[in-house]
Structure 1
Amino acid sequence: MAQPIIHNPVQFFVGVIISEMELWDNISRAISSNWGEIEFSSEKVDFDQFTQYYQSEMGTGLTRFWFALEGIRFPDDLIRIKWSCTAIENSLTQDKNRRVNLDPGYITEAKVILASFKDFAHRIYLTEGVYADMQLIWRDGKFIPREWTFADYRSDIAQKFFTRLRETYRRKLKLYIQGELEPIRGGGKIHR
């Protein structure tokens, strides 16, 4: 009979789609004060090349990038980080429109998981309105998209960022297994 095993800690990241880069300093301070420092970021790219999904709300000329949060945490922090990012988004709305979209997620050795408030056939409900959305799986030395994977997560920029993040995570996981690194616990103010 299988016995329950506590999941290893994971490495968290946040995907950013932003209409005005001038907002970034305030956003990064809010995230850092709640969830720790930003360890590194991806290159910034024009999000409009992937989709027009957010244009009616956020306009055109959107910038897309991802950043890694320092340390490792247990995956159940995904719910709190999602709600915290939503509070930051809501604090920056203008005329009821978002100016930033913050999508937190985490990486393991095998996959990239996003948090979502939207249900879909492949998403698994967690709790408090949050679903887990597996965007990428690791196979044969690279991340492989699924049929539902967003276009920006299929890009070379994403592949480069998530491969680097996986390497970083694997180093931290090794230290954790050896007892040399403790996961970060707690943090984050949730405003619903």
Structure 2
Amino acid sequence: MGIAKKPLPARLVMGFLAKDAALIDEIRPRLCKLYGEELEVLTAFPFRFTNYYKDEIGKSPVRAFVTYKTLIDRESIVDIKLATNHLELEFAKEHGTEGLRPVNLDPGYITLGQFFLATTKDQRQRVYIRDGIYVEPTLYFQDGHFHAFPWTYRDYQSKEYIEFLEAVRNQLKSSMHNP
């Protein structure tokens, strides 16, 4: 049974999917106002894993990732996902693309044992938290590396993502030992 206690904080990871890197650069300062100073950045590179977003973002989107210096409480991912959903809509309106997001924001968090993504879509592997937000265990850490689950999106199984997320995990581990 055990005694309930608050888990260690996690590192916020923001994924960006956009038509081009300029849009990502434009929205990043707004996220810094919400979540603080950026810590690690994986600059925009071609997204080549699915054409799911082609009608909304275009045929050749780019992906980028940013982490933030301030650690988060795990349950705050709900408020973060709700805020990023709102920001996506606001940004679309400013760019005259209401209904079509010029930037898709994918917040998640890393712990020492897993990487989780927040989502509004229910599936068998996702756990409902509150206010229409689910969390999905996306990768697990074992034997010195992140590994995929059967449901993990193909892009999150790629070498680029895994290497970046492992570096973020190593930095998180180091910061926990040297606060």
Report the TM range for the smaller structure's normalisation: over 0.9
Q: Which residue of 2 aligns with 1:135?
A: 138
CA distance in structure 1 between the partners assigned to 2:24 and 2:57 by the alignment: 15
Supply the AA of the counterpart residue of 2:2: A
Supply the AA of the counterpart residue of 1:98: R
Q: Which residue of 2 aligns with 1:25?
A: 25
Q: Which residue of 1 aligns with 2:160?
A: 157
Gapped regions of structure 2 (runs ≥ 5)? none
Runs of 4+ in structure 1 displaced over 6 angstroms? none
Q: Which residue of 1 aligns with 2:85?
A: 86
Q: Which residue of 2 aligns with 1:186?
A: none
Q: Which residue of 1 aligns with 2:10?
A: 10
Q: Any idea what the Cα deviations from partners look like across 1:65-114, whole Å, max 9, x if unmatched?
A: 21111121211110111111111111122042111110101001110000
Q: TM-score, structure 2 length as denominator?
A: 0.93
CA distance in structure 1 between the partners assigned to 2:131 and 2:83 by the alignment: 13
Q: Any idea what the Cα deviations from partners look like across 1:118-139, whole Å, max 9, x if unmatched?
A: 0000000001111011110001
CA RMSD of aligned residues (A): 1.2
Give the number of aligned pairs.
175
CA distance in structure 2 between the partners assigned to 1:58 and 1:24 by the alignment: 12
Aligned-partner SS, 1:17: strand
In the TM superposition, residue 56 of structure 1 has moved relative to its aligned partner by 1.6
CA contact (8 A) 2:16 2:24 kept: no
CA distance in structure 1 between the partners assigned to 2:170 and 2:88 by the alignment: 30
Q: Which residue of 1 aligns with 2:51?
A: 52
CA contact (8 A) 2:127 2:134 kept: yes
Q: TM-score, structure 1 length as denominator?
A: 0.87
Q: Any idea what the Cα deviations from partners look like across 1:28-63, whole Å, max 9, x if unmatched?
A: 11100011111121243211x200111122111100
Aligned-partner SS, 1:44: strand
Q: Which residue of 2 aligns with 1:75?
A: 74
Q: Which residue of 1 aligns with 2:124?
A: 121
CA distance in structure 2 between the partners assigned to 1:16 and 1:25 by the alignment: 10
CA distance in structure 2 between the partners assigned to 1:131 and 1:153 by the alignment: 18
Aligned-partner SS, 2:51: coil
CA contact (8 A) 1:72 1:172 kept: no
Aligned-partner SS, 1:61: coil
Gapped regions of structure 1 (runs ≥ 5)? 176-180, 182-192
Greater relative CO, 1 or 2 (CA 8 Å, sep 6+): 1
